C-alpha cells in the first residue's frame, strides 16, 4: 500500500500588468527551486508548478503527511525567491501574500493558501486540482455540493451501488473557527442552510461514507485560508485551490467537471469587493483582464501513481465548456451595469476587510440625527 500526500501551496507574490499574470521567469524560479531543493534531495517525489492569474501554484507529492514543516518551508522559500525577482524588477504586488517576515513552521495564517490531502493509493487514482483567481474558498460550496450530493449532477449517486450511501461534508465557520460534520443525503437541508450562507461557511473536506480509514475515504479538500482575516486588512483575495479524487466509488471525472457548468455567482473580482460569475477557463486563458476578472477557475487533471504526477490535462480547455463561458460572460456584462450598487458590489459586512472602513471613518462625524 502506498500512502501519498498531495500538497498544493499557493501565493500571489507578484504579477504583470497589475494583477493579471505571474510572468514565466517566476514560474521557472519556483520550478528550479523545487527541483534542486526538494526533488533531487528526495524530499518530494514529484511536483508541478503553474499559475492562475496572479497566483503562483505548486503541487507536490510526497510521503510526509499534511502540515509537514519541511514541505511548507520549501514552498515558502520558493515564494521568497520568486518575490525577490518581482521586487528587483518592480513587478506589481511583489511579495504581497507573504505576511510574515520569516517562516515559522507552517505557512497557514502567514498568507499562502494550502490544500493538502493524504490518501492510500488505489489501483488507479485520477485527481483533479482546481485553482481560482479573484475569489474566495466559498466559491467551491456550490460545485462541491453538486458533485457529492446532487444526483442531478452526479449520476453515480443513484447508479453506483458503492456511492449510494452518500458523502459526509466537513464545514468550517470561517470567522468563529468552528467545524461541523454533516451527512448526506440525511442532512442535506441542514448542509445547504449552512453552505448557502457563503459569507460565513465553507466546505473544507468531503469523505465517502462507510467503513475504512480517513485516508481511504477522503474525496475532496479545499483551501479555506482567508488572506484578509490573517492580514487584518485587505491585501488581495484568497484565490483558493482544491483537490478532488475521482472514479471507482468517487464521482467520475466527468461528474466532477459537471459541477462547474453553472457560472454561479461568487465574491471577489475587482478589489475583492464584487460579485460575479465564476468563469471556467484553460490555463492559457487564466488572465483576468476585465475589471480585474471575472473570477476564474482552472482544472488540471492528473493520474497519481506511486506518488508521481502523470499529466496534467487542462480540463476546462474542452469545447464542452464554451457555452458555460458564454453564459458567464453575459452575466458579467449584466452585473457590471450595476456599477457600485449591491448586489454587484458585495454587502457592507463583506466589505469589512476592504477599503470601506476607511470611507466610513472619514464620514463618521458628518452623520446627524434625523429630528422628525
Q: What is the DSSP letter of 232?
A: S
Choose, from 145, 237, 275, 314, the residue flagged as catalytic.
237
Query: Is the sign of the CA dihedral 62, 96, 139, 276 positive or negative?
Result: negative
Q: Pick the closer one to Mg ion by CB: 46 or 133.
A: 133
Cell (9 digits) for 299 = 482544472
Q: How far is CA 204 from CA 85, 93, 215, 305, in A?
A: 33, 28, 15, 25
Give the one entry of ligand F6R, Mg ion, none that residue 18 binds, where binding means its C-beta sits below a cut-off of 5 to 8 angstroms depending on kind.
ligand F6R
Q: Helix 69-88 crosses helix 24-34 at what angle (to 10 degrees)?
A: 150
Q: What is the DSSP letter of 38?
A: I
> Could you say whether residue 237 binds ligand F6R (CB under 6 A)?
yes
Site string for ligand F6R, 265-304 (x = CB under 6 A): -----xxx-------------------x------------
Q: Pick the closer one to ligand F6R by CB: 270 or 346.
A: 270
Task: Output helix, strand, coil percentages for the chain, rounded to the nearest 5.
Answer: 30, 30, 40
> Is 175 designated active site?
no
Q: Pick the closer one to Mg ion by CB: 129 or 206.
A: 129
Residue 83: how many other CB atoms lie within 10 Å: 24
> Is 239 designated active site?
no
Q: Pick the closer one to ligand F6R by CB: 271 or 275.
A: 271
How far is CA 76 from its chain centroid?
A: 18
Please tell me the count of residues contacting ligand F6R according to CB under 6 A: 9
How far is CA 131 from its chain centroid?
A: 5
Give the one entry of ligand F6R, Mg ion, none that residue 150 binds, where binding means its C-beta sits below a cut-off of 5 to 8 angstroms depending on kind.
none
From 33-41, 49-57, 201-209, 331-339, give the range in contact with Mg ion by CB under 5 A: 49-57
- Options 134, 226, 275, 344; binder of ligand F6R; rule CB under 6 A: 134
Give the one entry of Mg ion, ligand F6R, none that residue 55 binds, where binding means its C-beta sits below a cut-off of 5 to 8 angstroms depending on kind.
Mg ion
Site string for Mg ion, 238-267 (x = CB under 5 A): -x----------------------------
Q: Pick the closer one to ligand F6R by CB: 137 or 301.
A: 137
Q: Quote the CA–CA distance of 336 and 307 in Å, as a whole number.
A: 44
Q: How far is CA 369 from CA 263, 358, 366, 372, in A?
A: 44, 22, 10, 9
Q: Quote the CA–CA distance of 243 and 253 in Å, as a whole number.
A: 12
How buried is 362 (Cβ within 10 angstroms: 0-12 exposed, 13-18 middle, 19+ buried)?
A: exposed
Residue burial 7-26, b: 16+ Cβ < 10 Å; e: rest: bbbbbbbbbbeebbbbbeeb
According to CB under 6 A, which residues from 14 to 33 bind ligand F6R? 18-19
Q: Pick the closer one to ligand F6R by CB: 18 or 212.
A: 18
Neighbouring residues of 213: CB distance < 8 A, sequence distance ≥ 6: 120
> Could you say whether residue 57 binds Mg ion (CB under 5 A)?
no
Choose, from 234, 239, 275, 353, the residue flagged as catalytic.
234
E-assigned strand segments in the chain: 3-11, 46-52, 55-62, 113-120, 125-133, 167-173, 178-183, 201-208, 218-222, 241-245, 265-268, 274-277, 279-280, 296-305, 308-314
Closest contact distance (angstroms) between CB of 296 and ligand F6R is: 11
> Could you say whether residue 10 binds ligand F6R (CB under 6 A)?
no
According to CB under 5 A, which residues from 134 to 193 bind Mg ion? none
> Is 237 designated active site?
yes
Site string for Mg ion, 188-227 (x = CB under 5 A): ----------------------------------------
Which positions lie near Mg ion, rule CB under 5 A?
A: 12, 19, 54-55, 93, 133, 236, 239
Which positions lie near ligand F6R, rule CB under 6 A?
A: 18-19, 134, 236-237, 270-272, 292
Residues designated as active site: 12, 234, 237
Amino acid at each position: 500500500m502506498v500512502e501519498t500526500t498531495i500538497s498544493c501551496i499557493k501565493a500571489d507574490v507578484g504579477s504583470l500588468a497589475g494583477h493579471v499574470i505571474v510572468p514565466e521567469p517566476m514560474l521557472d524560479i519556483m520550478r528550479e527551486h523545487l527541483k534542486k531543493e526538494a526533488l533531487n534531495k528526495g524530499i518530494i517525489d514529484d511536483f508541478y508548478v503553474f499559475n492562475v492569474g496572479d497566483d503562483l501554484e505548486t503541487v507536490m507529492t510526497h510521503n510526509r503527511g499534511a502540515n509537514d514543516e519541511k514541505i511548507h518551508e520549501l514552498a515558502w522559500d520558493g515564494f521568497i525567491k520568486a518575490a525577490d525577482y518581482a521586487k528587483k524588477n518592480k513587478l506589481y504586488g511583489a511579495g504581497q501574500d507573504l505576511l510574515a517576515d520569516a517562516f515559522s513552521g507552517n505557512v497557514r495564517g502567514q498568507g499562502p493558501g494550502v490544500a493538502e490531502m493524504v490518501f492510500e493509493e488505489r489501483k488507479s487514482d485520477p485527481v483533479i486540482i482546481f485553482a481560482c483567481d479573484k475569489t474566495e474558498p466559498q466559491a467551491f460550496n456550490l460545485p462541491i455540493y453538486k458533485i457529492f450530493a446532487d444526483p442531478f449532477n452526479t449520476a453515480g449517486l443513484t447508479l453506483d451501488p458503492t456511492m449510494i450511501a452518500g458523502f459526509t461534508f466537513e464545514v468550517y465557520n470561517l470567522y468563529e473557527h468552528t467545524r461541523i460534520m454533516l451527512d448526506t443525503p440525511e442532512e442535506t437541508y441542514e448542509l445547504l442552510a449552512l453552505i448557502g450562507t457563503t459569507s460565513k461557511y465553507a466546505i473544507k473536506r468531503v469523505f465517502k461514507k462507510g467503513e475504512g480509514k480517513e485516508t481511504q475515504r477522503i474525496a475532496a479538500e479545499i483551501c479555506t485560508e482567508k488572506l484578509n482575516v490573517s492580514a487584518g486588512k485587505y491585501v488581495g483575495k484568497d484565490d483558493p485551490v482544491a483537490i478532488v479524487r475521482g472514479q471507482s466509488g468517487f464521482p467520475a471525472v466527468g461528474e466532477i467537471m459537471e459541477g462547474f457548468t453553472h457560472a454561479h455567482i461568487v465574491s471577489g473580482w475587482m478589489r475583492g469587493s464584487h460579485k460575479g460569475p465564476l468563469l471556467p477557463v484553460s490555463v492559457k486563458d487564466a488572465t483576468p483582464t476585465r475589471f480585474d476578472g471575472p473570477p476564474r477557475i482552472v482544472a488540471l487533471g492528473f493520474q497519481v501513481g506511486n506518488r508521481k504526477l502523470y499529466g496534467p490535462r487542462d480540463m476546462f480547455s474542452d469545447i464542452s465548456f464554451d457555452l458555460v463561458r458564454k453564459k458567464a460572460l453575459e452575466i458579467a456584462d449584466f452585473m457590471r451595469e450595476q456599477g457600485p450598487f449591491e448586489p454587484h458590489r458585495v454587502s457592507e459586512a463583506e466589505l469589512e476587510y476592504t477599503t470601506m472602513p476607511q470611507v466610513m471613518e472619514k464620514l463618521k462625524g458628518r452623520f446627524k440625527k434625523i429630528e422628525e
